[in-house]
Structure 1
């Protein structure tokens, strides 16, 4: 089984595993947000009449597997970097790494990944491994934060730390852009790739609650380039005070990117062979077709 490429190591994966272990006992505090993301992922399955028998769900935090079973999926395997998180699904559980998938080729006809792929060092490589684990005509759906998520917090932390220390350490992870989503799927070998985004706005009467929620969900920074020193005492109060506040308090945006693609199969629609059309575009548009070098009359 092939693993990751020589992609740069951006994230501290052992640290992430420890944080997801701890979050298994604390993420109930942010259940509404996690449930909203899981529901949006599962809703995509209702858009197809295709029926699935063997599913792999990654990073579901115990919320996705029950939804798959409720939709008639006969066999569901739950995988997470954290063994504690994987066990929350209540069925077959695997402690595994998205960067080294421990599954045979063609093992699943459905793979869903919920709020976890933004922590892999080589996203194209991870998608390629997922694609390899899928049978023909299998469906892949993933949700992950997109560029724009926590942008206000990112800017406030950078400005506050630069003012205090004359330099800033990265404290919010980089996120993929919408325009890259379909291209990533296509590069990994998926057919019919689709990417779209939806904003989920979170409101906090107390700005500090935003940081507490990120910690409870195990979503604190796991960047290898983070400053290992203890943050200055004034950093977070200064950054949180700079966040714009409205009538409902401070708001933060989760820009949810959803990726959908199919593993290639014989029954999928394909573009027609070039030159096989029996109707001219000029006729459809009611215009005159000009030959090469012919000037319009």
Structure 2
């Protein structure tokens, strides 16, 4: 199952679980076999056609347009042909009349989108970068009521972005490997100004490898602070955490990196 498939499946499944409907009741309403509906909600079996998702969106009161965008992206990831995608939606009109997100969603997107892109660019590039950010806001649209009802909208949104970016980021031994995108980051933009650019590249690759081993919250703070160039106050606002937490995470992260990259000299046996 690809990242775009999970992006629409999880909100649909969560909405169903909170709807109070049984699988029998939902099957009767959408006129789709219970076994096939179960497969769809578990993410197994054949990739579903749009018709069934359209029917589900009506019964579960899920916004159709962001669901359709994520479904279509996932169909491409599942190697469905353009002809299959088109045929799948032939008899079903997408509710384009509701293709405009809620005003507060639009305002929030305008507020954070550029910083979301800067963060994603550290790990992804090209189409993957654009798709990750676009998918994040589609997911937020699908789950907007949940986001508004959460303890902190900013933290909810950040978790959605992080999960989407990491699902597309290559991993090595369970940790994100962002060496492929390293040359697009702030740290390496001025290599031409250094006396030994190849040495700088080697040092930077070592730094990024060490950063990938940090706890998630420390990694995010270091990426935003030192690769995206955001001041601590902006990082606090973006992550939805107190400024003191950002400062503490940064101190611990710097200490960890110093201990890994520049460990103190071994003085054992040198005591007079």
Alignment TM-score, normalising by the size of structure 1: 0.31
Greater relative contact order (CA < 8 Å, ≥ 6 in sequence): 1
Structure with greater helix percent: 2
TM-score, normalised by the number of residues in structure 2: 0.33
